[in-house]
């Protein structure tokens, strides 16, 4: 390792060897090294010479090990008959599976939107000046973060047994509108309501954190300009809060996509539900069926991650001096750099 | 409500017996101040003396515990109810604030809006102008502060001095009756102070009513019609710049000036 302590110089240049280091490193006179090196290069001062980058052999070795291990896993995935890739291919786009996928998407989309709306309202209530609203919001969040989602869903599923009709009217008094609970509460509605109630509690905290992350000076500037309250929130505070909200909410959303697999317990056949029921009908195909579910969930998560990238980029306008390049821009820049390098090296 | 003012013009801002305290700590201890229309008032004093709080009381960002403030004879933040003062609703207070410009020490521009939108947003949101007119006004004001070519930039792409000039244009866009400056150059690098002071000087000579809290004593002497020295939440001394700065009567003023000059 002692050599790396010395300034890196091209091979062939005269320089005091490591053992003679204590001596002041005066450059050797040109005539002393005559014949040993290119005289022109030796005459150049050390400060004007190109610095060779430090080598990292350790990195290369670990990378090689990881690549070999990765290749082994991939090879095993492809060649192990246990995975039954032919059956995977058969099931992957079967209507029974895609119908389930559609239900998963539907439940996710409704719950994500309703959950976010509820979350924003709860966060605003939590941050409001009214102690009653603050307390209600706190209670709601406390309750729904405490109860497991599956319990909420099963409760709602049995709700129609507890309350046969829902009515709208004067509190404790006459009712104008009646709903038959058993008609209102389809399996889809039960699933969406359960997931939204749960999602809103978590989204509320995500949104609240985002609002708190906005600088106090922004609130003051908006108040000093006399901007109306609603404008202050919608145009000044919330867009800046979104920058902090998006990564956490997407995290939440990915959790939601996977939580939808619980709706199977309220007899809704989502992606997981379909896989599960097909698996009990064709027990031999359980592994490829689980692979089908895995791959679809991975695809859904990937799509959400891509949307996240562009949303984050959009809401970082003004927060960063220059926006991060999109993958397409990065690819284009990379290709140009590669072409330039190839040209440079082939020109010699 | 009108009071005798130094330049004989009607009073723009009147502060009457304002007391403000945070817990047991008295920040303002009976402030009386009259700013005439078109007058430039510089407020100086040691840090923690209540200068900034006084400005924030004027536009009701802080509520005074006792006393009141009025702009052109209209009470700010409160209304008279018989012998007592009653707090106004937030909507009304916001409307009143839009007639008082405020320039912050840390600019507080909206980072997610372009320079043009920072200036044009408030007149549209408060219903003063429609969007095209507001944008036209914003272009004019940005040209006036020397930033006609940066309208499409975002605040973080500008230097501190440029940001503060945008902040002044943003305050001007509401055509305020008075503009309050809270240490407008304290967050700037020394070489950027001049460009901001030039803009304020331009406003001062064009007849705007300004109240400037500042540490730039030389600038205060140059632009102000009157200098107000505050210490311990009270006005210790006030008067024309040469009198307060060159011939202070109060020992506390003398002591403060000997430290900063």
Q: pLDDT for A328-343, tens place per residue?
A: 888 899 889 888 888 8
Residue-level pLDDT at A32: 47
Closest residue in B to A241 (Cα) is: B112
pLDDT digits (tens, 9 = 90+) for A195-205: 999 999 999 99
- Tell whether A140 and A12 lie within a shared domain: no
B126 touches chain A (CB under 8 A): yes
CB within 8 Å of A53: residues ≥ 6 apart: none
Domain of A185, CATH number, reads 1.10.3720.10
Instruction: Round to whole Å and give the CA distance between A55 and B32.
Output: 73
Instruction: Round to whole Å and give the CA distance between B261 and B258.
Output: 6
Mean pLDDT of chain A: 84
Residue-level pLDDT at A46: 73
Calculate what percentage of chain A has a pLDDT beyond 70. Answer: 79
Residue-level pLDDT at A186: 79
CB within 8 Å of B32: residues ≥ 6 apart: B15, B16, B17, B18, B235
Parallel/antiparallel/unpaired status of strands B84-87 and B100-103: unpaired
A217 touches chain B (CB under 8 A): yes
Residue-level pLDDT at A181: 59
A2 — pLDDT class (breaks 50, 70, 90): very low
Last residue of a domain, one of A67, A91, A115: A91
pTM, full prediction: 0.79
Taking chain A, what is the end-to-end CA distance rounded to the nearest angstrom?
34
A200 in any annotated domain: yes
Closest residue in A to B157 (Cα) is: A321
* Chain B neighbors of A217, CB-CB under 8 A: 104, 106, 108
User: Among B237, B201, B202, which residue's Cα sits nearest to residue B222?
Assistant: B201
Among A215, A224, A239, A244, pick the best mutation site for testing chain B contact (most B Cβ within 10 A): A224
Q: Which of A224, A240, A321 faces B156 most closely, judged by CB atoms?
A: A321
Last residue of a domain, one of A66, A91, A116: A91
- Tell whether A108 and A253 lie within a shared domain: yes
A312 in any annotated domain: yes
Among A221, A246, A313, pick the best mutation site for testing chain B contact (most B Cβ within 10 A): A221
Q: Which of B98, B106, B111 faces A225 most closely, judged by CB atoms?
A: B98
A347 in any annotated domain: no
Q: Is the pLDDT of residue B1 over 60?
A: no
- Mean pLDDT computed over A316-327: 79
Residue-level pLDDT at A329: 87
Closest residue in B to A234 (Cα) is: B125
- Min mean pLDDT across A57-71, A111-125, A181-195, B185-199 is at A181-195
Residue-level pLDDT at B260: 86
Residue B15, beta-bridge partner list: B33, B69
Phi, psi of A239 (to 5 degrees): -60, -35
Question: Given an 8 Å threshold on Cβ–Cβ distance, is B126 in contact with A226?
Answer: yes
* Chain A neighbors of B170, CB-CB under 8 A: 225
Q: Is the pLDDT of residue B236 over 80?
A: yes
A229 touches chain B (CB under 8 A): yes
CA distances from B194 to A71, A169, B37, B218 (A): 65, 67, 26, 12
State which residues form the domain around A220.
Answer: 93-321
Instruction: Round to whole Å and give the CA distance between A7 and B104.
Output: 51
Most confident range, picked from A169-178, A186-195, B79-88, B172-181? B172-181
- Nearest CA-CA distance, residue A218 and chain B, Å: 6
Last residue of a domain, one of A69, A91, A113: A91
A341 in any annotated domain: no
Residue-level pLDDT at A5: 45
Query: In chain A, how many domains are there?
Result: 3
DSSP state of A325: P
Question: Given an 8 Å threshold on Cβ–Cβ distance, is B97 in contact with A217?
Answer: no
- Tell whether A201 and A82 lie within a shared domain: no
A224 touches chain B (CB under 8 A): yes
Question: Given an 8 Å threshold on Cβ–Cβ distance, is B112 in contact with A315?
Answer: yes
- Tell whether A77 and A212 lie within a shared domain: no
Q: Cβ(A248)–Cβ(A240) under 8 Å?
A: no
Residue-level pLDDT at A148: 95
Phi, psi of B187 (to 5 degrees): -95, 10
A73 — pLDDT class (breaks 50, 70, 90): very high
Q: Which of B109, B125, B154 faces A227 most closely, judged by CB atoms?
A: B125
- Nearest CA-CA distance, residue B253 and chain A, Å: 31
Question: Given an 8 Å threshold on Cβ–Cβ distance, is A321 in contact with B157?
Answer: yes
DSSP state of A11: T
- Tell whether A274 and A187 lie within a shared domain: yes
Q: Is the pLDDT of residue A25 over 80?
A: no
Calculate what percentage of chain B has a pLDDT beyond 90. Answer: 89
Residue-level pLDDT at B6: 62
B102 touches chain A (CB under 8 A): yes
- Tell whether A87 and A222 lie within a shared domain: no
ipTM of the complex, rounded to two decimals: 0.92
Q: Is the pLDDT of residue A320 over 90?
A: no
Which residue bears the tokens 């104008």? A176
A201 in any annotated domain: yes
Phi, psi of B49 (to 5 degrees): -85, -10
CA distances from A272 to A98, A185, A277, A278, B252 (A): 11, 22, 9, 10, 79
* Chain A neighbors of B98, CB-CB under 8 A: 225-227
A251 in any annotated domain: yes
- Tell whether A67 and A170 lie within a shared domain: no
pLDDT digits (tens, 9 = 90+) for A128-167: 999 999 999 999 999 999 999 999 999 888 876 666 666 6
- Min mean pLDDT across A82-86, A245-249, B139-143, B169-173 is at A82-86
- Min mean pLDDT across A9-23, A182-196, B237-251 is at A9-23
- Tell whether A101 and A213 lie within a shared domain: yes
Question: Given an 8 Å threshold on Cβ–Cβ distance, is A224 in contact with B59?
Answer: yes
- Tell whether A116 and A39 lie within a shared domain: no
Q: Which of A218, A228, A320 faces B110 most closely, judged by CB atoms?
A: A218
Closest residue in A to B172 (Cα) is: A225
DSSP state of A54: P
- Tell whether A65 and A129 lie within a shared domain: no
Instruction: Round to whole Å and give the CA distance between B255 and B261.
Output: 10
* Sign of the Cα pseudo-torsion (A213, B50, B166, A225, in order): positive
Q: Which of B94, B155, B170 faces A318 most closely, judged by CB atoms?
A: B155
Closest residue in B to A320 (Cα) is: B156
A262 in any annotated domain: yes
CA distances from B35 to B4, B39, B187, B225 (A): 10, 6, 26, 10
Which residue bears the tokens 């020490």? B105
Residue-level pLDDT at B89: 93
User: According to the 3-state scheme, what is the secondary structure of chain B?
Assistant: CCCCCCCCCCEEEEEEEEEEEECCEEEEEEEEEEEECCCEEEEECCCCCCHHHHHHHHCCCCCCCEEEEEECCEECCEEEECCEEEECCHHHHHHHHCCEEEECCCCCCCCCCCHHHHHHHHHHHCCCCCHHHHHHHHHHHHHHCCCHHHCCCCHHHCCHHHHHHHHHHHHHCCCCCEEEEECCCCCCCHHHHHHHHHHHHHHHHCCCCEEEECCCHHHHHHHCCEEEEEECCEEEEEECHHHHHHCCCCHHHHHHHHHHC
Question: Given an 8 Å threshold on Cβ–Cβ distance, is B94 in contact with A226?
Answer: yes
- Min mean pLDDT across A27-36, A219-228, A336-345, B44-53 is at A27-36
- Mean pLDDT computed over A283-309: 93
Q: Which of A218, A227, A236 faces B126 most closely, judged by CB atoms?
A: A227
pLDDT digits (tens, 9 = 90+) for B173-229: 999 999 999 999 999 999 999 999 999 999 999 989 999 999 999 999 999 999 999
Rounded (5°) CA angle A219-A225-A230 = 60
A318 touches chain B (CB under 8 A): yes
DSSP state of A179: E
Closest residue in B to A239 (Cα) is: B112
pLDDT digits (tens, 9 = 90+) for B144-157: 999 999 999 999 99
Q: Which of B97, B113, B174 faces A223 most closely, judged by CB atoms?
A: B97
- Tell whether A21 and A35 lie within a shared domain: yes
- Tell whether A107 and A81 lie within a shared domain: no
Q: Between B241 and A186, name the one with better pLDDT.
A: B241
Q: Cβ(A236)–Cβ(A228) under 8 Å?
A: no
Q: Cβ(A289)–Cβ(A279) under 8 Å?
A: yes
* Chain A neighbors of B91, CB-CB under 8 A: 228-229
A217 in any annotated domain: yes
Which tokens in the block code for residue A268?
Answer: 């809704």
Q: B residues 151-180 near A, CB within 8 Å? A: 154-157, 170-171, 174
């Amino acid at each position: 390792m002692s050599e790396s302590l010395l300034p890196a110089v091209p091979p062939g240049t005269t320089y005091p060897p490591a053992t003679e280091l204590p001596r002041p490193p005066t450059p050797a006179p040109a005539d002393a090294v005559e014949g040993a090196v290119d005289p022109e290069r030796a005459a150049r001062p050390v400060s004007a010479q190109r610095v060779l980058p430090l080598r990292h052999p350790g990195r290369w070795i670990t990378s090689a090990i990881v690549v070999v291990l990765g290749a082994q896993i991939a090879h095993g995935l492809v060649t192990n008959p246990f995975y039954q890739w032919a059956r995977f291919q058969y099931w992957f786009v079967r209507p029974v599976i895609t119908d389930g996928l559609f239900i998963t998407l539907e439940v996710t989309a409704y719950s994500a939107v309703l959950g976010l709306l509820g979350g924003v309202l709860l966060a605003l209530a939590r941050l409001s000046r009214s102690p009653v609203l603050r307390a209600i919001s706190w209670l709601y969040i406390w309750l729904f973060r405490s109860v497991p989602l599956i319990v909420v869903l099963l409760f709602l599923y049995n709700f129609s047994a507890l309350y046969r009709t829902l009515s709208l009217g004067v509190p404790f008094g006459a009712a104008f509108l009646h709903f038959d609970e058993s008609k209102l509460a389809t399996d889809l509605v039960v699933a969406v309501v359960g997931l939204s109630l749960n999602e809103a509690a978590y989204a509320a905290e995500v949104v609240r954190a985002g609002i708190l992350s906005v600088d106090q000076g922004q609130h003051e500037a908006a108040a000093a300009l006399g901007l109306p309250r609603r404008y202050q929130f919608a145009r000044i505070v919330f867009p800046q809060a979104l920058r902090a909200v998006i990564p956490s909410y997407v995290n939440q959303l990915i959790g939601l996509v996977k939580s939808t697999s619980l709706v199977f317990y309220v007899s809704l056949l989502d992606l997981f539900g379909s896989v599960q029921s097909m698996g009990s009908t064709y027990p031999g195909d359980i592994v490829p069926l689980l692979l089908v579910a895995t791959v679809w969930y991975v695809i859904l998560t990937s799509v959400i991650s891509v949307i996240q990238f562009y949303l984050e980029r959009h809401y970082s306008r003004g927060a960063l001096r220059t926006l991060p390049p999109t993958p397409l821009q990065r690819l284009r820049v990379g290709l140009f750099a590669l072409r330039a390098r190839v040209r440079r090296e082939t020109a010699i | 409500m009108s009071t005798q003012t130094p330049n004989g013009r009607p009073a723009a801002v009147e502060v009457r017996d304002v007391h403000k305290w945070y817990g047991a700590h008295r920040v303002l201890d009976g402030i009386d101040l009259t700013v005439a229309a078109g007058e430039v008032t510089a407020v100086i004093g040691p840090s923690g003396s209540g200068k900034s709080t006084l400005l924030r009381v004027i536009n009701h960002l802080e509520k005074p515990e006792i006393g009141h403030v009025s702009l052109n004879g209209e009470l700010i933040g409160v209304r008279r109810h018989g012998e007592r003062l009653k707090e106004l609703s937030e909507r009304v207070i916001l409307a009143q604030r839009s007639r008082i410009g405020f320039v912050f020490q840390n600019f507080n521009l909206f980072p997610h809006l372009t320079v043009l939108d920072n200036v044009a947003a408030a007149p549209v949101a408060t219903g003063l102008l429609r969007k095209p007119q507001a944008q036209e006004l914003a272009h004019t004001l940005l040209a006036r502060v020397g930033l006609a070519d940066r309208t499409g930039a975002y605040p973080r792409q500008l230097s501190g001095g440029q940001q503060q000039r945008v902040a002044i244009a943003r305050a001007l866009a509401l055509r305020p009756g008075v503009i309050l400056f809270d240490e407008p150059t304290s967050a700037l690098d020394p070489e950027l102070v001049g460009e901001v002071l030039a803009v304020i000087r331009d406003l001062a000579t064009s007849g705007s009513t300004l109240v400037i809290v500042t540490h730039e004593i030389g600038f205060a002497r140059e632009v102000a019609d009157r200098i107000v020295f505050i210490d311990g939440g009270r006005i210790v001394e006030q008067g024309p710049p040469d009198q307060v700065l060159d011939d202070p009567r109060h020992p506390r003023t003398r002591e403060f000036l000997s430290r900063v000059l």
